[in-house]
Structure 1
Amino acid sequence: MRQRSALFTILAVVAALLAAAGAVQARSPVFDVDKEFYPYYPSLIKWNKSTVPFNAPEVCGSCHEQQFNEWNGSVHSLAFRDPIYQGELNKAVKAVGHSISRQCEGCHSPVGVVTGEIKGPGFQGLSSMAMAGVSCDVCHSISGVTHWQTPSHEPENGSFILTPGVETANGQVLVKRGPFKPSPECGGGFHQCEESDLHLRADLCASCHQVYHYDAHFPIEATYLEWKHGPYAQKSILCQDCHMVDLDTFKRSADQFVIPDRKEYRHYFNGANFLLTYLAAGAAKKAGDEELARNLMRQYEMAIQRLKMAADLEVTPVYRSGRLAELKVRVKNIRAGHNLPTSLTNVRQMWLEITARDEQGTVLMTSGTLNPDGSLPAEARAFTSDGMGSDFHFAIDPWVVTAFSKHETIPPKGWKDVHYGIQVPEGVGRITVEAKLRFRQADQKVAEALLGAVPKDIDLEQIYGIKSVPPLPVVDMVVKQETVKTAP
């Protein structure tokens, strides 16, 4: 009887385990994809398809000259033509297949994707509309977002709706949307104007400034969420309040949490990508377009100044047993409304370079100086991320990265402390410390690999005058010099 009871118990346990296993197998996927709802997947763009055309930026510029000139030369205008992006895209297509290209192109040239013009990397056969990247008609045709319906239920990979106009019984009607109530004469008979509350929210930017892995939906770039989970969102300072204004207004927005006046907004869309505008300025000069070259160099200088305004350093001595034992360097994010750095944080590089000298100038300690080949030393204190793939091994390619093994970026209004041990010889009474916070777009080898992978129809020498990849420029965001006593 006892044996039968024990047998029944074992069978009941086995049945329970099998039922649990069945329940696990029947569980819904974490990232459920509705490909009927998102016909351009892995891009999450939706298009209210009609015969209403998209208009090239030059068409918009005929009435909106100031806005066109501000946009022309911005990173939005260069989003598709960026040679580093094209190299990355070409590598991705070769590694994973053509379908991944839609995820990238959906934000780098939304019109080219929905119209079917863009079928992969390169420029061959494309119209000026497809080449225009994030153009006027992209942002002002957005009629809504689908952030909650995405596989991650967050903004990702272009989760917006394009509606450039509507078809009526009397023909096509172009509709353009903006953040303010339109005047009666708005559109000049060419298009209708609609006030859009979405254009007064950061959700407008979120769709493309949240880049997720094309299949695993891991946030490779999380700029929007960094902002949303920080103090700037709490104070109602939006992306537009820092990136669509001049430098003085940006500084005021960041320091005082003051929302700009309507007249202070500009179509600069300026950020940290100074390398792209510098390369494009060289291409414009080579093509003989001096006005565009000047626009691009203004964008370049603005990006450099923004980087120099974003952070600060504090150097503090640490004493033990009456002698200087450590130098503490506090790196502060004082004006970036998102983490510092942001975007592809496993590619961008921000690090500390520090040197300590005695009264005679002899170097006592140094860290963070670039190697002769342009690479960052392994021991440098960097504020970046390390990506890893599904096998939990190091990875840098966006189509491989599905997690971070290290994430050292600095949140808005936050800081990180770095400690450097130092041994000071007897007889030295004070030392001079120079600390630099340095930034560049990518590791030298990474940049060389990406520029070396551009499609064949993009001739770097012919377009940019580049025969080989020069050393990538480095911006010193902050430089601090302090004299420190070796005894308290």
Structure 2
Amino acid sequence: MNRFHPLCTLACAALFLALLTGSSLAASKVFDVDLEFYPYYPSLIKWNKSSVPFSEPRKCGGCHSKQYKEWNGSVHSLAFKDPVYQGELNKGVKAVGHDIARQCEGCHSPAGVVTGEIKGPGNAGLSDMALAGVSCDICHSVSGTTHWQTPSHEPENGSFILTPGVETTSGQTLIKRGPFKPSDNCGAGFHKCEESSLHLQADLCAGCHQVYHYDSHFPIEATYLEWKHGPYAQKEVLCQDCHMVETETFKKSADEFRKPERGEYRHYFNGANFLLSYLAAGAAKKGGDEKLAKSLMQQYDMAVERLKSAADLELSPVYRDGRLAELKVRVKNVRAGHNLPTSLTNVREMWLEVIAKDESGKVILTSGSLNPDGTLPGDARNFHSDGMGNDFHFAIDPWKVTAFSRHETIPPKGYKDVYYGMTAPAEAKAVTIEAKLRFRQADQKVAEALLGAVPKDIDLKATYGLEKVPALPVVDMVVRQANFATTK
């Protein structure tokens, strides 16, 4: 009697199954999109459409003046008007069309997208609600998320649901949601209040702080996942616990994994984007609004202080055969709950500048000093990402980046070690080291290209007082000095 070997039997069965199902497997998509479910695709916003209007921030400020003042001048309030964003949006529309660029607009002005008011780059002719970007009524109208239903089955590109209110037999009812049980007379008859557990979760922020390629669904920005896969999520310290508090409270939250008290939360939404605050402060001052300019510079100072408290450096000598051979610089992410840097890491620059001198003051090592034209040397140790497109060649535009060829960011509570070869003169007995961890929003040439691409209705000179793109501000996050003997 003929018998088949068991392994052969399994192989034949597998082949038979493959033949039966091969066509369906070949036709399946990794990232399937339901265009009926997501009518604003590639923005993944959903809107429970009704006649109930969105409320502009000034209206909210009538009863919530403290929160309004904190929000006004925040990066959320500037999200759509930001000239750097507008330059990028204008470039994107010209490259791939407005239907694709709606992905960006969905998070930078959600109300403007779902109402159909925003039809392209620029600020001209838009309502205060559309220009307000991520306003009070956006966050407090979020009634749910669709993170699991997205093409990647992760939060991405604005995967939240907006429900500013409902229509009833007696008319319109505005509904605003927050993290706490409503007090008596909450809303003062203008709107109804609802307690929302979502507003006590990082998922509230996730949809817009996960930016994926519009078609390939590659995470160009993965701030939420960086947090979720790190120690802060394990300790239940959320986005709100660091970005909706004063700087000193942020430090305590990060150092002690301590959740702030209810009274410690603010509506600053402060992060590392000091450039946006800097530009907007110039515009407010030129427009004669000294009060707003002061608020914006407060945001600028907070962002700089946050950057200076996020990282640390350790300098150590490495000896071989009794002689100083290398300098080890350990760069540590000590307080950022996500990677450092995060968000558009192929554009951000966080790098080491190192200078070593002997006793006579002679420079024996230098690395990371900016070129005369403001660009960063190619051999500088830069903790960022290099993007690439479908052709596996370098790419920087977000509509082109479908993968990273290099990813050097530092995870929460993590570190990266960098080694520099040291050759001290034979007669030298010691060397002096100065190391700086430096940060700026983008390469000088990239910033010049983006600001040079702003839509025609944005006059940089008239609005911001810019005759030309200035040298981008650089923040020295950490500065450390050390002295090491050349022999051991």
Which digits, 9 at most, give the CA deviation of each residue in 1:134-185, with x for residues without a partner? 0000000000000000000000000000000011111000000000001111
**1: CA distance, partners of 2:398 / 2:335:** 28
Equivalent in the alignment of 1:152: 152
Equivalent in the alignment of 1:5: none
Equivalent in the alignment of 1:307: 307
Amino acid at match of 2:53: P
Equivalent in the alignment of 1:3: none
Whether 2:443 is the aligned partner of 1:443: answer yes
Amino acid at match of 2:350: M
**2: CA distance, partners of 1:454 / 1:146:** 33
Equivalent in the alignment of 1:40: 40
Amino acid at match of 2:109: S
Equivalent in the alignment of 1:465: 465
Equivalent in the alignment of 1:83: 83
The 5 Å alignment of 1:144-183 reads 144-183=144-183
Amino acid at match of 2:286: K
**2: CA distance, partners of 1:42 / 1:18:** 34
Residues 373 and 17 of structure 1, relative CA distance in 2, 3 Å threshold: farther
Calculate percent identity across the aligned residue pairs: 76
The 5 Å alignment of 1:67-466 reads 67-466=67-466
**CA deviation after TM superposition for structure 1 residue 86, in Å:** 0.3
- TM-score, with structure 1 as normaliser: 0.96
Which digits, 9 at most, give the CA deviation of each residue in 1:411-448, with x for residues without a partner? 00000000000101111111100000000000000000
**CA deviation after TM superposition for structure 1 residue 26, in Å:** 3.8
**2: CA distance, partners of 1:26 / 1:225:** 30
Aligned residues: 476
Which digits, 9 at most, give the CA deviation of each residue in 1:442-484, with x for residues without a partner? 0000000000000001100010001110111100000000011
**1: CA distance, partners of 2:36 / 2:190:** 34
Amino acid at match of 1:465: G
- TM-score, with structure 2 as normaliser: 0.96
**2: CA distance, partners of 1:351 / 1:340:** 11
**1: CA distance, partners of 2:238 / 2:485:** 44
Aligned CA-pair RMSD: 1.4
**CA deviation after TM superposition for structure 1 residue 27, in Å:** 3.4
**2: CA distance, partners of 1:197 / 1:424:** 61
Other structure's SS at 2:309 match: helix
**CA deviation after TM superposition for structure 1 residue 81, in Å:** 0.3
**2: CA distance, partners of 1:471 / 1:285:** 20
**2: CA distance, partners of 1:18 / 1:410:** 43
Amino acid at match of 2:293: A
**CA deviation after TM superposition for structure 1 residue 20, in Å:** 7.7
Amino acid at match of 2:169: A
Equivalent in the alignment of 1:50: 50
Runs of 5+ consecutive residues of structure 2 not aligned to the other structure? 1-11
Residues 20 and 475 of structure 1, relative CA distance in 2, 3 Å threshold: farther
Amino acid at match of 2:36: E
Which digits, 9 at most, give the CA deviation of each residue in 1:41-66, with x for residues without a partner? 00000000000010000000000000
**2: CA distance, partners of 1:27 / 1:233:** 37
Amino acid at match of 1:280: A
Amino acid at match of 1:60: C
Other structure's SS at 1:221 match: strand
Amino acid at match of 1:59: K
**1: CA distance, partners of 2:387 / 2:465:** 33
**CA deviation after TM superposition for structure 1 residue 23, in Å:** 2.8
Equivalent in the alignment of 2:3: none
Amino acid at match of 2:123: F
**CA deviation after TM superposition for structure 1 residue 28, in Å:** 1.3
Other structure's SS at 1:240 match: helix
Runs of 5+ consecutive residues of structure 1 not aligned to the other structure? 1-11
**2: CA distance, partners of 1:20 / 1:364:** 69
